Structure 1
C-alpha cells in the first residue's frame, strides 16, 4: 500500500514556528495519499521553513500514534471539510492515545476560500463563469459525502446557500454520496425545476476515492462535472490560516496561565 508523507526528521517547528501536523482521513485508494502529498508540497512552498508532517486516521501510514507522540512543539490541523465525528471524536482521541497534548485547529469548512476552490474546479471543467448572466442561468449541485451529524450537514447547506448568494447561481442544491438525503440525480432534477438552463456537479470532497467515483457515476445528466477540490492552492492557504489561528490561541492560553 502506498503511504503518505513520511514523518519529518525533527520534533520541533524549526524556523517556521511549531510544526504543522496535517491529520488526514486516509483511504485504500492510492489517489488519496497522492493528493495529500501534493497538498503538503503546496503548504511547504507557501511557507518555507515550516516543518509539515502527515498522519492518517486509517488505511494509510504513518498513523497518528506513530507521529504525534514524538512531536514537541506542533499544531494538529485536520484535513476535513466539516466538524463531524472524525473532528469531534476520532482525532482528539487518537492524539490523547498517542500522549500528544497538541493544539488542535479547526476544520477547513466553511470558508470563502473553499468557494473559490470550487469555482476553480468548475472553470477547469469548462463551465463558463465570466459573466453574471452565465452564472444566473447555471445551477450547481454541491455533492458532499454526507454525515450522520446534523450540524455537519447544516454547515454544508449553509455553504451552498452562501455560494449561491455570493456567486449569483440560478440555484445550488446539496446532494450526498452516503448517509441520508438527496442524491445527485434528485438534486439535478431540482435544479432543472428551478429553471436552470445549464447544470454542473461540484464534488465537495478533498481527494479522489470511492465517494467521488460514486458522485461521478451519478452525474450523467449534468452538463459539467468538476474534479474534487484536491490540492488547490486555496486549500493550502486555508490550512495555514487554521494553523495560525490555533497557534495564536494556544499562545494566548499559555500567556494567561503563566
Structure 2
C-alpha cells in the first residue's frame, strides 16, 4: 500500500497563506503520485492528528517547516499521539535543503537584488537553539550561492530582529539592503518584512519547484520504511 503523505504546515489566518498551502499539497501529489492530505500544526484545523486520524493505512508526515523548532519537535508528535497515530513516520523538517536555498536566491534575483547589495535572511524565529542553528546554516549556504555575506534576522522570538539586522547590514550610507524571506508562504510574518527598512523584500519560497522537490525527497526516503514489516 502506498503511504499517504500528510503535509504538516503551520497554519495562518491569511487566506493567501492557506491557498498557498493547498496549492503546495496539490503540486506535491502530482510530483509524488501519492495520496496527499494537509494538516495544520497551529492556528486552524484540521490539526495534524485530526488529518492523520482520517487516513487508513501507513502515513508519512512531512513537516513543511524550514527549521525543526517547537511545532516539529513537540506539537506535531503530540497531535499524532492524541489521535492514536503514533505509528505515522515523521520526517525531518525541510531545513537547509540545497533546493530551498536555491529558491531563496532565485526569489532575491526576482526582487531586484544585485551584487553589492547587503542581504538579510529573515526567518520566523524560535526559542529552540537548534532551530536557530539551522537558520544560520541556511544563511551560510545562501552566502555561498550569492558570493556575499548573508546575515540573519527574526520576525519574532529570537534576536536580532529583522529591522535591527537590516540596520546593521547597511555598512555604508547609500548601500541597498535586501531581505531574503526564509518563509514558505504569505502571511503576517511576511507582511512584517515590508516594515523592516530594507530596500527590497523577496517573496516567500512557495510556489518554487524546489520546495516541492524537497518535500517529495523527504517522503520517498521515508515511504519504504513506513510500509516495511516490523
Distance in 2 (alpha carbons) for counterparts of 1:213 and 1:166: 26
1:242 deviates by 0.7
Counterpart contact for 2:49–2:76, Cα < 8 Å: no
Per the normalisation by structure 1, the TM-score is 0.81
Counterpart contact for 1:36–1:231, Cα < 8 Å: no
Shift in CA distance, 212/182, structure 1 to aligned 2, threshold 3 Å: same
Is 1:234–2:210 an aligned residue pair? Answer: yes
Correspondence for 1:140 = 119
Show the 5 A alignment for 1:24-63: 24-47=9-32, 49-63=33-47
Counterpart contact for 2:47–2:79, Cα < 8 Å: no
1:195 deviates by 9.9
Correspondence for 2:222 = 246
Counterpart contact for 1:42–1:236, Cα < 8 Å: yes
Correspondence for 2:95 = 109
Show the 5 A alignment for 1:73-222: 73-100=58-85, 101-128=87-114, 134=115, 137-169=116-148, 171-193=149-171, 197-218=175-196, 220=197, 222=198
Other structure's SS at 1:217 match: coil
Unpaired runs of 5+ in structure 1?
1-12, 129-133
Counterpart contact for 1:139–1:196, Cα < 8 Å: no
Distance in 2 (alpha carbons) for counterparts of 1:122 and 1:172: 12
Structure with higher RCO (Cα < 8 A, 6+ apart) = 2
Distance in 1 (alpha carbons) for counterparts of 2:84 and 2:122: 37
Other structure's SS at 1:175 match: strand
Distance in 2 (alpha carbons) for counterparts of 1:108 and 1:242: 8
RMSD: 2.0
Counterpart contact for 2:9–2:64, Cα < 8 Å: yes
1:208 deviates by 1.4
Larger radius of gyration: 1
**Could you report, residue by residue, the CA deviation over 1:112-142 in whole angstroms, capped at 9, with x for unpaired residues?**
11111101211221224xxxxx3xx232100
Other structure's SS at 2:194 match: helix
1:197 deviates by 4.1
Is 1:19–2:4 an aligned residue pair? Answer: yes
Distance in 2 (alpha carbons) for counterparts of 1:191 and 1:26: 31
Q: How many residue pairs get matched?
A: 228
